[in-house]
Amino acid sequence: MTEIFGSDTNTDIKNPLTAAYLRIEKGPAVSPPVYDFEEAGIILEGQITFEDETGRKETLRQGDKFLIRRGTNLTVSSLTYGLIFKCESQFMGQDIPITIHSSKL
């Protein structure tokens, strides 16, 4: 992930915002932790599949937009690759641990 701008952690901002590019490569599905922030984005290239904890799966392609609500638990994968531009309601530079799953796709 490449953060391009965002709210600095050394401030007293109540509603931080960070923007970033994220590239997902073909390979095993990955899971960020349960989202404790809101995230919105657009697929710039390729395709990305999101699957929630209920098994609902959506594959998004170039030009498709998404919104991930706080409290969501997702698995993310791609059969090819995908490039996302996204904004999230958290401070810039916060680490997000990722879990890699055995290949499902």
Domain ranges of the chain: 2-100
**Predicted TM-score of the model (pTM):** 0.74
The CA-atom distances, in angstroms, between 6 and each of 2, 15, 75, 86, 92 are 11, 11, 25, 12, 5
Per-residue pLDDT tens digits for 25-69: 998 888 877 778 888 999 999 999 999 889 999 999 999 999 998
Give the per-residue pLDDT at 81: 96
Give the per-residue pLDDT at 9: 62
User: In the chain, what percentage of residues exceed pLDDT 90?
Assistant: 37
Domain 2-100 class, CATH top level? mainly beta
Give the per-residue pLDDT at 96: 55
* 4 conformational bin, left if phi > 0, alpha if psi -120 to 50, beta if neither: alpha
Residue 85 has pLDDT above 90, yes or no: yes
SS3 9: coil
Q: Distance between CA atoms of 88 and 4, rounded to whole angstroms?
A: 12
